[in-house]
Structure 1
Amino acid sequence: MGRQKRKKYHRGDTFIQKKFRTRRRTKDLDQIDDDMKPDNAEKLLNQDIDHDLPGAGQNYCLHCAKHFVDLRALKEHFKGRPHKRRLRALKDQPYTQKEAEAAAGMGSYYAPQKRTVETQKVIEKEMDQSEN
Structure 2
Amino acid sequence: MSLDVPTAVIDAAQRGEMDDAQFVAVVRDSLPYAWEVISAAADDQAARPEAPFGEHEVPPPSEQARGQLLRALASNSIRGALERHFGVVLAFQNCHRVAAFAPAAVDSAVYREFVSPRGQVLNQTPELRDC
Give the TM-score normalised by the residue count of structure 2: 0.31
Give the TM-score normalised by the residue count of structure 1: 0.31
Q: Which protein is richer in helix relative to its size?
A: 2
Q: Which protein is richer in strand relative to its size?
A: 2
- Find the structure with the greater CA-based Rg: 1
Q: Between the two structures, name the one with larger relative contact order (CA 8 Å, sep ≥ 6).
A: 2
